[in-house]
Amino acid sequence: MYLAQLHGKLSSKTERSEDILTSDVFSFFKYSNREIFLKAYLQELGLDVTGQEAKDAEFFFWPHFEEKTEPDLVIIVGNYYLLIEAKLFSPFGEETKNRKAQLLREIEGGILEARNNSKDFRIIAITSDHYYKENKFGIIPSDCFNYFKWTNWQAITLFLNDILESRRNLTVQERAFAADLYNLLDKKNLRDFGGFHNFYDLGPPLKTRECVFFEAKTATFRGAFIGFTESLPIDKKLGAFKKIFLHNRERELFKSLFKLEAMKKTEPSIFWRET
């Protein structure tokens, strides 16, 4: 499915489906090397699991709760019962006359299922927002925020990029699998700027420079222009002229400046020209 999407072989409606995206991403975590990928990703979310617990994790896509509630994914791993609700373009289901809001139903159903499995409940909401938007989660009671975690698809893209750049011991198959998913998320524009910290390990530290602009005197190759300071026949440095001395009488905007004594009429060309 990755390659079909990367090559544009699916309809635009299918490519924009959040169910397809959920399947793409979390099927990767299910079938890839879990000790490398799943364990590290859950740690990114603040969940402490061992490599063996990641290997033994159970994935349940679109399970059914009461009141026709169907979260996108449940992962039972270690001591955790993780309920994942993922959105791409659609909003979370709102409250109606006959049903509670989607997140409330999933929290209630998830807590019950977690107790039945003797696990600690967590609900993870994934959106395509670049930052946390409080208005989307105002429905969640304050006493339930201990169970709640928000993240976005962009964080998964960045996570994959970090793994691909830092892990030298990936097999050819593992690297290809992760790279395909990374490229797919990138194609869907689900990637954020990772920050300048990524440059810190590239070698010698960046040095502070007094000037980062072109220096004509030390340049071996340059164009014809070497700067006003060198080209104008003046001894003193160029300074800022504090008074307004140019005025175009044809512009209505400047009529209020007519009475200023500093105004002088100029020729059409006001720039210095070398003869």
Residues in a beta bridge with 83: 74, 123
Residues in a beta bridge with 122: 82
Instruction: State the burial class of residue 232 (Cβ atoms within 10 Å of its Cβ: 0-12, 13-18, 19+).
Output: exposed
Question: What's residue 1's pLDDT?
Answer: 75
Question: What's residue 262's pLDDT?
Answer: 56
Question: What's residue 155's pLDDT?
Answer: 96
Cα distance between residue 214 and residue 216, in whole Å: 6
**Residue at 213 is within a domain:** no
**Residue at 260 is within a domain:** no
Cα distance between residue 50 and residue 175, in whole Å: 22
Question: Is the CB of residue 34 less than 8 Å from the CB of residue 57?
Answer: yes
pTM over 0.75: no
CA 264 to chain centre: 54
**Residue at 120 is within a domain:** yes
Two structure tokens written together for 229: 């300071």
**Residue at 248 is within a domain:** no
Cα distance between residue 75 and residue 115, in whole Å: 14
Residues in a beta bridge with 123: 83, 148
**Residue at 273 is within a domain:** no
Best CA proximity match to 99, nearest among 133, 73, 65: 65
Token pair 């959106």: residue: 127
pLDDT averaged per 10 residues in sequence order, the chain, 275 residues:
87 90 97 97 96 98 91 98 96 91 95 96 96 93 93 96 93 96 95 65 63 62 60 59 56 54 60 56
- 80: domain range? 2-199
**Residue at 204 is within a domain:** no
Domain count, the chain: 1
Centre a 10 Å sphere on the Cβ of residue 35 and count the other Cβ atoms it contains. Answer: 14
* HEC assignment per residue over 146-167: HHEEEEEHHHHHHHHHHHHHHC
**Residue at 168 is within a domain:** yes
CA-based angle 129:130:136, to the nearest 5? 40
**Residue at 24 is within a domain:** yes
Question: What's residue 40's pLDDT?
Answer: 97
